[in-house]
Structure 1
Amino acid sequence: MPSGTLRLGQGEFGPGAYAVMAVLNRTPDSFYDRGATFAFDAALAAADRAVVAGADIIDVGGVKAGHGEHVSTEEEIRRTVPFVAELRARHPGVVLSVDTWRAEVGRACAEAGADLINDTWAGADPDLARVAAEYDVGLVCSHSGGLAPRTDPHRVAYADVVDAVLRGVVGLAERAVSLGVHPDRVLVDPTHDFGKNTYHSLELTRRLDVLVRTGWPVLVAVSNKDFIGETLDLPVGERLPGTLAALALSAWQGARVFRVHDAAAARRALDTVGELAAP
């Protein structure tokens, strides 16, 4: 079913093209920036810098992924929708993504101009795929090991984590298409660290080619994550070299979209991989 070319908004990414997705957290408690882009103007400035640095996609989130203060649907909409609308006017050619598991938020952001719904919680709200179909926007199909949104993994186990992820994301991708999401707007994400320990995330990185061979464009979101920190015994602020190594390995195996905190460094690393891979 995948067409080979990923089409999101005005963006088209064919085989061999690497799309940089810049993280923009409109949250006061992000694990990485601790609220540096929570304020509207600070977030706009960060988005502008990411575009200049070579980001193809801006991924806007209004709720911290892990444990933290409860954020209502109304508050998540307040944090994301006006910002998406402003970005749409400010950067008409850039692909805009919203990181949410809630159908109501996805709908409001699609109406404001979002091109992609980044569902990192594996269809926890089954209506989210229907929203993507209704508004003809893209959808990221992820794997969270059955955990509810904002739940951290605890003693998780898989007979084969790659097989479990493969079955999960392909099943969600096929469901999305059956509901009317266009096949060239669907991505799959192994979702490192969500419902997984460090061993699982490392194994997924080593064997990412298994997902690539499904034909669905693969998104990787490894930037500064705990599995990199635990592997290298480094705090969040010192994980960039490990992040770039994981990005390069993922790109070499055929991943297509890369969700990152440092768009400039990722763009340089991915461009280098592209030159090395060129015949």
Structure 2
Amino acid sequence: MMEDDETRLTLRPLGLTAPEQALPGARRLAGGWLCFDRCEAVLRTPAGKATGGAADRRILPLADLDSWAGGLPDPLRRSCRLWLERLTAERPPVAGLSLDRPRLMGIVNVTPDSFSDGGCHADADRAVAHGIGLAEAGADIVDVGAESTRPGAAAVPAEDQIARAVPVIARLAERGIRVSVDTRSAAVMTAALAAGARLVNDVSGLRHDRRALAVVGDATARDPDVAVVVMHMRGEPATMNQAPVYEDPALDVYDELAERLRWCEEGGLDRARILVDPGIGFAKRMEQGAAVARSLSLLHGLGCGVLAGFSRKGLVRGWADSTAPRDRLPGSLAAAIIAFEQGVQILRVHDVRETAQARDVWEALRLR
């Protein structure tokens, strides 16, 4: 939402609570399970200007937002209205999945080298059994990936990804399980969609393969249940975390995702068929990722469903002082609750049963 050459506006919803507990004048966030009654309004000049990209921040009750915006230039007033429209608009189903409550995406890595469970499900039979188990444990969608994108990982040829992932996707889809494919490759996307995948989860935001946007666009035009996850990442997995620099991590990630969405729409992809992912752990050091995590509600201003993944990641290790990925369940559950408290519609996790239990208890105590 670039308003002019001088300043851009962002609104971060605050005061998030259950509708029954909301103050008068509160608005529903993305048509979902939370309301917000105030926001952080940020007026930010572009980096490189004489001000050095300084931001003017203020907390405003929604009741005062119109009068405050009335003193802004016309482009910023229009942007404020658009922000409120996108923050409050009900999100349509994605990949046939309604976004009216927090959903879970279970992870099946058919790789020998993923950071947490590499090699555990490289055999197709074990991978299928694991996917079935995740669905039975409460996963609303099962994400199958055949290429590790952990920091420092090397690319895997498309033919190898297809050989690893597509038989697993086909067998899960045959059982009626909603399946996603985790890939940056257009050829893998094509094969996975033909095998029954309903969601393409691309950590590169459709940047890695120049044919990816066309593949996803054609698939969404043919099938109303097909959608895509556009994730924020800079560079490639092999180098992305060497020295990432951000002026303001949360605002920068928002701006770069907004630009990516504009590019997708110019390529013919409907915003309603897109989920956005801030890419925790991708081109972000721990403090940068933490800053993004604290401001996840900002991403609802993009007008899309939001997906996030914290499960077993280095961000959890950094705060919890645990080095082994499999020992990071408590920290991963804490991060999951932070995501639910900010209206994140889909959480990508390894430990589905435990996360589903934590979510259900949180819903019972927080929202009823």
TM over 0.5: yes
Does the aligned pair in 2 maintain the 1:222–1:246 contact within 8 Å? yes
Name which of structure 1's ranges 77-86 and 49-58 shifts more when overlaid on structure 2: 77-86
Match of 2:214 among 127, 130, 140: 130
Does the aligned pair in 1 maintain the 2:154–2:238 contact within 8 Å? no
Q: CA 1:214–1:183 in 2, change beyond 3 Å: closer, same or farther? A: closer
Asked if 1:215 is matched to 2:303, the reply is yes
> What letter corresponds to residue 162 of structure 2 in structure 1?
I
Does the aligned pair in 2 maintain the 1:120–1:143 contact within 8 Å? yes
Does the aligned pair in 2 maintain the 1:252–1:277 contact within 8 Å? no
Match of 1:72 among 130, 153, 157: 157
Alignment of 1:235-250 (within 5 A): 235=323, 236-250=325-339
The share of aligned pairs that are identical, in percent, is 31
Alignment of 1:1-279 (within 5 A): 4-14=90-100, 17-66=101-150, 67-68=152-153, 70-90=155-175, 92=176, 94-122=177-205, 123-136=207-220, 137-144=226-233, 146-235=234-323, 236-278=325-367
- The structure with the largest alpha-carbon Rg is 2
Does the aligned pair in 2 maintain the 1:138–1:181 contact within 8 Å? no
Inter-partner Cα distance in structure 1 for 2:133 and 2:159: 28
Deviation of the 1:207 alpha carbon: 1.1
Deviation of the 1:149 alpha carbon: 4.1
Inter-partner Cα distance in structure 1 for 2:270 and 2:322: 41
Name which of structure 1's ranges 240-249 and 65-74 shifts more when overlaid on structure 2: 65-74
Q: TM-score, normalized by length of structure 1?
A: 0.92
- Give the SS at the match of 1:213: helix
- Give the SS at the match of 2:203: coil
Deviations 1:196-235 (A, max 9, x none): 1000111111111111233321111110001111221102
Structure 1's unaligned 5+ residue stretches are none
Name which of structure 1's ranges 59-68 and 157-166 shifts more when overlaid on structure 2: 59-68
Deviations 1:11-67 (A, max 9, x none): 2223xx111000100001121113111101110110111011010010000011133
- Give the SS at the match of 1:148: coil
Deviation of the 1:176 alpha carbon: 2.2
Deviation of the 1:189 alpha carbon: 0.5
Inter-partner Cα distance in structure 1 for 2:154 and 2:306: 31
Paired residues in the alignment total 274
Inter-partner Cα distance in structure 1 for 2:273 and 2:217: 10
Inter-partner Cα distance in structure 2 for 1:229 and 1:70: 25
RMSD: 1.8
Deviation of the 1:111 alpha carbon: 1.3
Does the aligned pair in 2 maintain the 1:248–1:270 contact within 8 Å? yes
Q: Which has the higher contact order (CA 8 A, sep 6+)?
A: 1
Deviation of the 1:8 alpha carbon: 3.3
> What letter corresponds to residue 119 of structure 1 in structure 2?
D
Structure 2's unaligned 5+ residue stretches are 1-84, 221-225
Does the aligned pair in 2 maintain the 1:22–1:57 contact within 8 Å? yes
- Give the SS at the match of 2:104: strand
